[in-house]
Amino acid sequence: MLVSELREKFIKFFEKNGHIEVKSSSLIAKDSDSTVLFNIAGMQPFKSYFAFEKDAVKDLGSDKIVSCQKCIRTKDIYEVGDNSHLTFFEMLGNFSFGSYFKKEAIKLAYDFLFEELKLSQDDIYVTVFEGNSDIPFDEESYILWEELGIKDIRKCSFEDNFWGPVGKTGACGVCSEIFYKGVEIWNLVFNGYFKNEKGEYVEMEKKCVDTGSGLERLCCAINGYTSVYDLDVFSSLMDFLKRESDICDEKIFKIIIDHFKAVCFLIADKVLPGNMGREYILRRLIRRGIRYENKVHCGDVFGYILNFFVEKYGDAYPELKDTDYIMSIFKEEEGRFLKTLDNGIKALKKISEDKKTLSGEEAFHIYETYGFPLELIIEEVGFDIDEDEFNLAFDKHREISRKGSERKFGGHGIKDEDGDIRVIRNHSAAHLLLQALRELFGEHIYQKGFDINEERLRFDFPFDRKLEQDELKQIEDLVNLKIKQKLPIICEEMDTDLAFEKGFLGTFRDRYPDKVKTYDMGGWSKEICAGPHVKNTGELGEFKIIKEESSSKGVRRIKAKLIN
């Protein structure tokens, strides 16, 4: 079975059973989950509905949803190259926000696997939660599986069969997992409890279902494959790289395909290469892929791989069809990397002639000079590196950057002198501008750079085209509306993790100290920021855009001023 066939079968089955399809969200995690850089599970875009903070029927058209969600995970990046680990993958899921619970969810999973896909029950076992001092044994799920004829039902621990919550408090519940030929192919999560501040699990009146099945893993199981790279979305690329390469190394071929596939989808979702957060992850994947490409001498294969994935995924994910844009971003980053690659490798090999151990400070200097991720330094000549010392050097550099930012924006309080207060007003206006851009053009928009002075503000953000005059007018109108509403601006210091849980935006997710300052502008704009700001948006005057222009490839710049 083809991957596209299985995706379609899953969606159609649940539509037939009363669910509404919700198309995949962007790979970029929305404000509802600022604890992660990317969507890493199918349920993530629906977190607000699981918490009943939003109304699924009103927003989505139903409280029974089916989706196939694009996901990115990099925590297992060193495992990529084996038969199962992928950086980019798809998660199939059906969700109930109070409409049905265990009985219906288990029956739906059973019917899809055994009636629709015709899997053999002889190769199946399921797990249920065995119970502990807080949560009782999930007898209901056990009986439901037993009534459906499943003979091998195993009781498992809290660690294996309990999910959540995300954070210290929130919805959570027992799981029932389905294994086929020893491989987990489906996880049913029954969100029936709420963990409160005291650590107590309180049973909820309104319960939810969150199920997940890895599309690639399930397709492998159905086809009897032992490797995801036997799937149709990979196999011919493996053959292509074998033909194109001077050195045959299947593990390297898998890494190249995996990384470049993730790169295609990330750029299509408007992520740009950079030095922090999700930008750094994209840069790391591009540079790692290029380095492995060079190792097997397969030439420039990204264009071929991109076109292949457009053919395989273009109908499901039309954003991939903007191949000119994707290629231009990739080529720009490739050119930047290749300029330093040879010099960096020469420098590493020269150092390695004298020693095999590299201090963390030396490794960080190479990273900063040549843009080599730590693992590339290790892989290239087999250095032993004090990674703790490297991280300390990285943190020191980060602290210097943070203090530089504070000196510019946070090293003084609000003063009465006209010059200082005009800078502060422009700073507050920049926050309103960012939120206006996100509201009008999507939550993937973020601050890529900005500069303020007494006269104006300058704001850079990722965007792939020129803004039209009517769009600029919409931005102005929205910012001015928020100024007229005289939103109170509340400053509060809190734990960094709590700030992200509460939905405060922060560009430098992995670079903040344990505690941060947050600024909440009437609940509309919420950012982590060193400050300072005015106390009320009504102090800003009229917001006027002076100019909109290109800053660099895929980045636009807005210059604006306040008219008092």
By the 8 A CB rule, do 180 and 119 touch? yes
pLDDT for position 446: 85
Please name which of 57, 49, 70 lies closest in space to residue 20, comparing C-alpha atoms.
Answer: 57
CATH architecture of the domain with residue range 3-123+141-150+195-223: 2-Layer Sandwich (3.30)
Domains 3-123+141-150+195-223 and 418-563 fall in the same CATH topology = no
* DSSP symbol at 353: T
pLDDT for position 339: 80
List the Cα angle 284/290/295 in 5-degree steps: 125
The pLDDT of 503-517, averaged and rounded, is 75
The pLDDT of 67-83, averaged and rounded, is 91
Helices (H), 67-214: 102-110, 139-147, 158-161
pLDDT tens digit sequence for 11-48: 999 999 999 999 999 998 765 455 578 888 888 888 88
More confident residue, 445 or 102: 102
Q: Do the strands 555-563 and 457-462 form a parallel or antiparallel pair, or are they unpaired?
A: antiparallel
pLDDT for position 547: 93
pLDDT for position 139: 96
Q: How far apart are CA 453 and CA 416, in angstroms?
A: 16
Question: Which residues are CB-contacts of 217 (< 8 A; sequence separation ≥ 6)?
Answer: 84, 183, 184, 185, 228
Per domain, the residue ranges of the chain are: 3-123+141-150+195-223, 234-352, 418-563
pLDDT at 200 exceeding the cut of 60: yes
Residue 126: pLDDT band (50, 70, 90) is: very high
pLDDT at 398 exceeding the cut of 70: no
Q: How far apart are CA 383 and CA 205, in angstroms?
A: 57
Buried b (16+ CB within 10 A) or exposed e, 297-327: ebeebbebbbebbbebbeebbebbeebebbb
Question: Which residues are CB-contacts of 311 (< 8 A; sequence separation ≥ 6)?
Answer: none
More confident residue, 323 or 506: 323
pLDDT at 476 exceeding the cut of 60: yes
Q: How far apart are CA 476 and CA 471, in angstroms?
A: 9
Q: How far apart are CA 250 and CA 238, in angstroms?
A: 8
Separation of CA 231 from chain center: 24
pLDDT for position 185: 95
pLDDT at 267 exceeding the cut of 70: yes
Is-above-0.95 flag for pTM? Answer: no
Residue 381: pLDDT band (50, 70, 90) is: low
Percent of the chain with pLDDT over 90: 59
Q: Domain 418-563 belongs to what topology?
A: Threonyl-tRNA Synthetase; Chain A, domain 2 (3.30.980)
Residue 418: pLDDT band (50, 70, 90) is: very low
pLDDT at 166 exceeding the cut of 70: no
Among 263-267, 316-320, 325-329, 375-379, the minimum mean pLDDT is found in 375-379
pLDDT for position 412: 55
Hey, which bits of 58-182 come out as E strands?
64-72, 88-97, 124-129, 153-156, 162-163, 170-180
Structure tokens at 244: 């194109």
Helix, strand, or coil (residue 506) = coil
Structure tokens at 401: 């950057």
Helices (H), 371-528: 374-381, 387-405, 418-441, 469-484, 496-501
pLDDT for position 344: 77
Among 181-185, 284-288, 341-345, 433-437, the minimum mean pLDDT is found in 341-345
Q: What is the DSSP string of 258-292?
A: HHHHHHHHHHHTT----SSHHHHHHHHHHHHHHHH
Other C-beta atoms closer than 10 Å to the C-beta of 442 total 14
Question: Which residues are CB-contacts of 168 (< 8 A; sequence separation ≥ 6)?
Answer: 195, 197
Q: In the predicted model, what is the mean pLDDT of the chain?
A: 87
Structure tokens at 175: 């799981």
